[in-house]
Structure 1
Amino acid sequence: MLDLNDVALFVHVVRYGSFAQAARLLGMPANTLSRRVQQLEDQVGTRLLQRSTRKLTLTQAGQAFHDRCSSAVEGLMEAGQQLISGSQEPSGTVRVAAMADFFDFFPMQWVADFLATHPKVRLDFVLSDARCDLIAERIDIAFRGGILQDSGYVGRQLLEARHDQMVASPAYLDRRGMPVTLEALAEHDAVSFTQPGHLTTWRLKGPGSAEHDVRIASRFTGNTAQALRKATLAGLGITLLPITIVAPDLHAGRLVPVLPDYYRTGYGLHVLYPSRQHLPLAVSAFIELIMERLGRQGFTARD
């Protein structure tokens, strides 16, 4: 029969990425921890971890074993912590991976509100456009845009694939006029992502889902959505951006829609987490916050 204590120690080692780090947090010698995991490997009859001087890597069998048992171990730990504390209050550190410009559309005030509501929770954000390994990097929650690849993680759609909308500032439209046809866009300036040459091509869908290729001269180009948004707010031209990025400006009147019957299909947003069951209360609470705040703006995916 497996020693469940050894299984729990194995889960901790995977979560913290090394025997040394896990041993420090568990308050036990690293060599003892290593011996207990080796004892577990002897019991199951296969190697679970590949060890090197630099890092630990799960074997295929180790990954499968971890996927099956980690949620149960976390659930038992959470239950024990709740019994000890006598409350259902979320606590602990939630490590969050997100795209580099995450806080350009996710207001920091939402984070402040969440931390004020849950004073025992700490948020640790890792912002990068590179895709992370949730287990190796000890990530509790990861946000990913675009098409969700089959990664073995648990995925939940937060935002449906929404339309990219053409928008411009009122000042620009007062100066240059509101285009009323796609052909009229040729007389305007574009604010767009960098492309070869000075012409930008937008493939738009219109009434009846007919597709149209529109070419418009770019007076300003950049490589981030926020650079384009700020240039458009400054009156430099018409841009085509995800509705989630420009929605606050549309609501405030800082930007207005241009030819709203024409759009480009964008991508959705997903949240990923390693375990299928027994999410820590702090993780569940943070996901609920996101769903609630996005829901207020009408952007959450339909169940």
Structure 2
Amino acid sequence: MFDLNDTAMFVQVVRCGSFAEAARRLGLPPNTVSRRIQQLETQLGTRLMQRSTRKLTLTGAGKAFHERCAGAIDGLVEAGQELMTGSQEPNGLVRVATTADFFDFFPMEWIADFLAEHPRVRLDFVLGDAHADLIAEQIDVAFRSGLLTDSAYVGRQLLGIHSYGMVASSAYIAARGTPGTLQDLANHDCVTSAHPSGRTTWRLTGPDGLEEEVQVTGRFNGNTAQSLRKATQAGLGIALLPPAIAKLDVQAGLLVPVLPQYQRASKGLSVLYPSRRHLPSAVSAFIGLVLEKLSAVETLPEVFRLG
């Protein structure tokens, strides 16, 4: 039977990304930590990590073992902490990976209220449009759009599919006219995400339920929803914007709908976390916060451009 202490040490090494940092946190010499992990590998009969002078990389067996045991180790630690403190209160650090625009649409006041309600929880946000490696970057929870295809993690859909619509500024429409058909977009400036070819294909569903596509170009590209929004407001072209943005800007008179009979389905929003069992209470509490807020604001999920 392998030693659970060695297993806990393995989990710490993975989260720290190095033997030296894990040893520092555990208060042990680095060579002791390395020897104990080697001992665990010998007991399991398989290599868990590939070691180099620059970084540690989990093997396939190491990833699978970490996925199965990390939550259990966290559960044991959390149970001990709860017994020692006599409290079921969520505590500890939660690292969250999400889109660069997260706080443009998820008010900081919600975060402040959450931290006030859970004074023993700390939040560390990793913001960006690239998919984070949950294990390598020590991420506790990530929010992504689209279908979940990475079987190494645990995921569930928070919100389903909605529709994107096309919008433009009144100034742009006054200067360039309103397109009458989808193919007319080829003669307009369109605000899109950057593409190496300089052209972007929009696939939209028409009033008959059939999907059509059109190639569009423009003089402005951006990689965040906010950059596309501001460019569209400035009259730089027609854009496909998330409904949370489009609806509010149309209501405020900042943008007008374009060919509203054509829509593009969004990818929905899912939550992803690395462990199947014993999700730390602080992580569960944060996921609960996001669920509560997104359920109350029906159109908000479309701003999460994580896929």
Q: Is the shorter-chain TM-score for this pair beyond 0.5, marking a shared fold?
A: yes
Offset of 1:248 from its aligned partner? 3.9
Contact kept, 8 Å, 1:158 with 1:300, in 2: the verdict is: no
Q: Residue in 2 aligned with 1:144?
A: 144
Distance change in 2, residues 1:13/1:187 (3 Å): closer
Q: Residue in 2 aligned with 1:76?
A: 76
Moved more, 124-133 or 19-28: 124-133
In the comparison of the two structures, how many residue pairs are matched? 299
Which whole-Å CA distance do the structure 1 matches of 2:7 and 2:196 have between them?
55
Q: Residue in 1 aligned with 2:58?
A: 58
Moved more, 189-198 or 290-299: 189-198
Contact kept, 8 Å, 2:99 with 2:129, in 1: the verdict is: yes
Moved more, 53-62 or 201-210: 201-210
Q: Secondary structure at the match of 1:31?
A: helix
Distance change in 2, residues 1:248/1:117 (3 Å): farther
Which whole-Å CA distance do the structure 1 matches of 2:175 and 2:187 have between them?
7
Distance change in 2, residues 1:48/1:229 (3 Å): same
Which letter does structure 2 place at the counterpart of 1:92?
Answer: G
**Percent pairwise identity:** 60
Offset of 1:207 from its aligned partner? 1.6
Q: Secondary structure at the match of 1:155?
A: strand
Q: Residue in 2 aligned with 1:8?
A: 8
Which whole-Å CA distance do the structure 2 matches of 1:246 and 1:146 have between them?
20
Which letter does structure 2 place at the counterpart of 1:90?
Answer: P
Distance change in 2, residues 1:213/1:58 (3 Å): closer
Which whole-Å CA distance do the structure 2 matches of 1:198 and 1:63 have between them?
39
Q: Residue in 2 aligned with 1:122?
A: 122
Which letter does structure 2 place at the counterpart of 1:53?
Answer: T
Distance change in 2, residues 1:191/1:116 (3 Å): farther
Q: Residue in 1 aligned with 2:30?
A: 30
Q: Secondary structure at the match of 1:139?
A: coil
Q: Residue in 1 aligned with 2:207?
A: 207
Offset of 1:273 from its aligned partner? 0.7
Q: Residue in 2 aligned with 1:40?
A: 40
Offset of 1:121 from its aligned partner? 1.7
Moved more, 150-159 or 162-171: 162-171
> Where do 5+ consecutive residues of structure 2 fail to align?
302-307
- Residue by residue over 1:52-96, the C-alpha shift from the partner in whole angstroms, topping out at 9 and shown as x without a partner, is 222222222222222221111111111111122222222211112
Please tell me whether residue 98 in structure 1 is matched to residue 98 in structure 2. Answer: yes
Distance change in 2, residues 1:180/1:297 (3 Å): farther
Which letter does structure 1 place at the counterpart of 2:232?
Answer: T
RMSD: 3.2
Offset of 1:293 from its aligned partner? 1.2
Contact kept, 8 Å, 2:75 with 2:280, in 1: the verdict is: yes
Q: Residue in 1 aligned with 2:181?
A: 182
Contact kept, 8 Å, 1:160 with 1:299, in 2: the verdict is: no
Which whole-Å CA distance do the structure 1 matches of 2:14 and 2:201 have between them?
47
Q: Residue in 1 aligned with 2:268?
A: 268
Moved more, 26-35 or 198-207: 198-207
Distance change in 2, residues 1:214/1:135 (3 Å): closer
Contact kept, 8 Å, 1:165 with 1:242, in 2: the verdict is: yes
> Where do 5+ consecutive residues of structure 1 fail to align?
none
